[in-house]
Amino acid sequence: MRFPRSSVFKLLCLIILLEAVLCQETAQIMKDKASLLSFREGIVSDPHRALEDWNSLGVHVCNWSGIKCNKARDRVVELDLSGKALGGTISPSLANLSSLHILDLSRNFFKGRIPGELGTLSQLGELSLSSNLLEGSIAAELGFLRKLVYLNLGSNQLTGEIPMPLFCNHSSSSLQYLDLSNNSLSGEIPLPDGWELKHLRFLLLWSNRLVGQVPAALSNSSKLEWLDLESNMLSGELPSEIIRKMPQLQYLYLSYNRFVSHDGNTNLEPFFASLVNASNFQELELAGNNLGGDLPPIIGNLSTNLVQLHLDTNRIYGSIPPHISNLFNLTLLNLSSNLLNGTIPPKLCRMTKLERVFLSNNSLSGEIPSAFGDIPHLGLLDLSKNKLSGSIPDSFSNLSQLRRLFLYENLLTGTIPPSLGKCINLEILDLSHNQISGVVPSEVAGLRSLKLYLNLSSNHLHGLLPMELSKMDMVLAIDLSSNNLSSTIPSQLGSCIALEYLNLSVNSLEGPLPDSIGKLPYLQKLDVSSNQLNAQIPVSLQESLTLKKLNFSFNNFSGNVSNNGAFSLLTIDSFLGNAGLCGSIKGMSNCRKKHNHLAILPIILSLLITPIFCVFGYPLMHRSKFQKHLAVFDQEDSGDDEEEGKKEHKYPRISYEQLIEATGGFSASSLIGSGGFGHVYRGVLQDNSVIAVKVLDLKTDGDILGTFKRECRVLKRTRHRNLIRIITACSRPNFKALVLPLMSNGSLESHLYPSHGLKDQLNLIQLVSICSDVAEGVAYLHHHSPVRVVHCDLKPSNILLDEDMTALVTDFGIARLVKGGDEKGPTNDSASFSSADGLLCGSIGYIAPEYAMGKTISTEGDVFSYGVLLLEIVTGRRPTDVLVHEGSTLHEWVKSQYPRRLDPIVQQALDRCAADLMPKQYNKVWRDVVLELIELGLICTQYNPSMRPNMQDIAHEIGRLKDYISSPASFLIDEIDLKVEAP
């Protein structure tokens, strides 16, 4: 078919026109394009495919994602890739974008140094590299960006001193916003006398290691609105004369430094006087400085726009001045942990916008003003650890927004007002350690809103335990100990299904302990000691899968007590003062045996039956005596597993009877642990090989067979030095067991919490190495295993340590296989279920928040659990304990301390890790590592799963930390060299 000549002509014109459009990319824009492509080469991770359209055929560079050009479309003027989760390094080639006005690479995972070449971008007005993993010193060349208005390098890992050109260069005159916070910068603030930053409005240097005094030249920055110097090591008197010259100041944060007040740390008046002229002042934080002096009346002359006042953890003495009530817009007042005395001025309650009031840990006396009930938005009131007397005001019933009420450790008398039951949003009520009498009002006992804890311990309460307590179906802890409560324990307490901690000790309770208590699904600690309880201890308590600490002492219990189940870790101390008890707990008298000749019949029959063999699986570690390649075989499995078992029949076998012999008949003396699905026994084979036998409890509710098969499949298909390897899997109709190598150093949990048996704490080098091992093991499961695995239950008890302290991840009972690796389709264990399927996606405190909303399991869920694990290692606190005592999850609590209140956490971590035994020059290294572990933990526990890093990146980052802390000398030498070479 021939085309008309006119059509051919039109087609040629169209081609020429298209070429003309494509050729609009001028030589200058082509240079910019080349620079951008060079930058892209340094990016190793682009999970959101943010740069997918870069260099696409026919797409003009000005239409690439994150790019903006000028009107002529011949120069790139903006590069904004913030929050794209990009990983890699920042290429110096960006310096060739000579018309760039805005460069924003914040909230990514860029590593390495900040290129000094960026200092040649003469048109740059905004540079933001915050919230990355950048390290090294800040390039002095950035101080020569003449048009720079906004500079944000916060939340990285930058070290060294702040380069003087950032503050003292002709280019700095245009600077309005400077954020270098949350790094590890040292030295003094480099602002010499006489220098001016006239346009500076925001200066954020918090959470560094800056020393010295606040430079006097800062007083020339009269336009400053926000000054944040918290969590450094700054010293000297409070900068009153400097602050006095900042009339536009709105936010001032000086907490957690080493400041003192005037006149030898006795006079706070000059400082508060310096703030009076700041008419729009809104927030003041001076906590944690050990400031001395009393609160001057002039504090009431501060701006009425003030909404937050933090003066806690100082040495402020005297009474609270009534003048403070002039600050009628205040929403938060924190005067806790000082030396205040006198009474609480009723005028304080005139501040009707107050939402949180902290007056705890002082020496305040007198009665609690009933006017507190007139503060309509009050959500938290903490008056604990004072000397307050009188009764609890009935007016508290007016506080419909009250969520947390702390009145413990005072001298309060009277009764608990039933009207507290009208506080329908109350989550925590702590009235413990007072002299309160009367009964527990049913209105208070029936507060369904209590989600965290109820503590009425150490008072003079009497009467019955209210049955209304059963309405608290979301409460985590109840403590009614050390009172005069009587009668029986209501079985309805079994309705408190979220309960983890129950303490009813030191009362006059009688009757039996209800069987329903042992059936509480999450109960971990139970103390009913020093009562008059009788009858037998319920079997349900022994069968509990969650109970860890129990105390039945000094009651009238009777009957036989075995050392099985939850009782396996108990000692005689949990049963003292119960003359009627006997059993197999060490130190307890033996029960008189009743002869039963029929009982021996099953044993004889089992010896006559042909032994059923368990076929060996994976070999032990390289030091094991098992050297051959062995396969897992489950007699009840079919298909591929059965065929594989037949093929592997030539390998050595071990009989069920050999397991009985190795473990002493699965005796109590061989029991080394109990978990959600059964018990673990220590065994010694005939060749003296030491093993651990995990016997599944087939009576447990739930998919125990599925659990057994899942763990077999995962262990069979995965091989990594940081994953536990199976020796054998044994399956009979009434017996399921996995045989594993015994880890000589137990679990990580036993080292984190020495009460579990071990006394020696791990040092920081060992802990970082363990974190690295775990990350490597889980990264293998997520990214390199032949079939991708989501573990679903990362926690310290599922991390075992071999003789070299190498960590191995174990317990794959609820793991899921997902499509990936070499799989060509979804497996039978694909991750298509959610928490709604009745399977718990992990352990409380470690479960990713999206699982609670019915989301399908994912590798991001393991990342969340790993982040909680990091924070638990650093803080030394169990997630559930934090939930009870702090009223928040572990990561939320750490985040609330971050970054300004981390010093106590870091110091406690160093104390636990024996940092004092290291040379002094390594102190900085260890502190750096702890801070990085905290930051990585917070990054991993972000609420949005897509914002969490993957395990491969985490393993790389932890590996870097491991190298850093294992050989800090080389890093210190590098640091010294840098200081010598610095101008």
Binding-site members for ATP are: 694
Secondary-structure breakdown of the chain: helix, strand, coil percentages, each rounded to the nearest 5: 35, 20, 45
Asked if residue 895 lies in contact with residue 822, where contact means CB atoms within 8 angstroms, the answer is no
DSSP codes of every residue in 569-637: G--GGGTTT-TEEEESSTTSPPPPPPP-GGGGHHHHHHHHSPPPEEEB-S---TTSS--S------TT-
Spatial separation of the C-alpha atoms in residues 536 and 558, rounded to whole Å:
5
DSSP codes of every residue in 830-890: -S---GGGT---S-TTTS-GGGGGTPPP-HHHHHHHHHHHHHHHHH---HHHHHHHTSS-H
DSSP codes of every residue in 57-81: TT--GGGSTTEEE-TTSSSEEEEE-
Q: Which of 228, 641, 793, 953 is catalytic?
A: 793
Q: And the tokens for 577?
A: 């003062």
625 exposure class (CB count in 10 Å sphere: 0-12, 13-18, 19+)? exposed
Catalytic residue check, 793:
yes
The secondary element (H helix, E strand) that includes residue 367 is strand 363-367
Taking alpha carbons only, the member of 428, 679, 371, 702 closest to residue 542 is 679
Residues 6+ apart with CB under 8 A from 342: 318, 319, 320, 364, 365, 366
Q: How far is CA 194 from the centre of its chain?
A: 45
Residue 899: cis peptide before it, omega within 30 degrees of 0: yes
- Give the angle 672-678-682 at the CA atoms, nearest 5°: 25
Q: And the tokens for 138?
A: 């800040």
| Other residues' Cβ atoms within 10 Å of the Cβ of residue 981 | 7
The secondary element (H helix, E strand) that includes residue 540 is helix 539-542
**Phi/psi of residue 634, nearest 5 degrees:** -115, 115
Asked if residue 279 lies in contact with residue 255, where contact means CB atoms within 8 angstroms, the answer is no
First to last CA, the chain: 79
Q: And the tokens for 112?
A: 């390495």
Taking alpha carbons only, the member of 571, 513, 563, 511 closest to residue 542 is 563
Spatial separation of the C-alpha atoms in residues 848 and 879, rounded to whole Å:
13
For residue 356, the SS3 value is: strand
Q: 470-487 burial, b if ≥16 CB within 10 A, otherwise e?
A: bbbeebbbbbbbbbebee
- Separation in Å, CA 543 to CA 308, 521, 547, 897: 51, 11, 9, 39
Spatial separation of the C-alpha atoms in residues 573 and 577, rounded to whole Å:
9
Provide the total of helices (H) and of strands (E) in the chain, helices listed first: 21, 53
For residue 912, the SS3 value is: helix
Any bridge partners for residue 463, and if so which? Answer: 485
Return the half-sphere exposure (C-beta side, CA atoms, 13 A cut-off) of residue 486.
6
Spatial separation of the C-alpha atoms in residues 306 and 300, rounded to whole Å:
10
- Separation in Å, CA 858 to CA 697, 789, 946, 964: 28, 9, 11, 31
Q: What is the CA radius of gyration of the chain?
A: 33
- Separation in Å, CA 299 to CA 227, 228, 282: 20, 21, 13
Residues 6+ apart with CB under 8 A from 698: 704, 734, 735, 736
Spatial separation of the C-alpha atoms in residues 659 and 655, rounded to whole Å:
7
Annotated active-site positions, please? 793
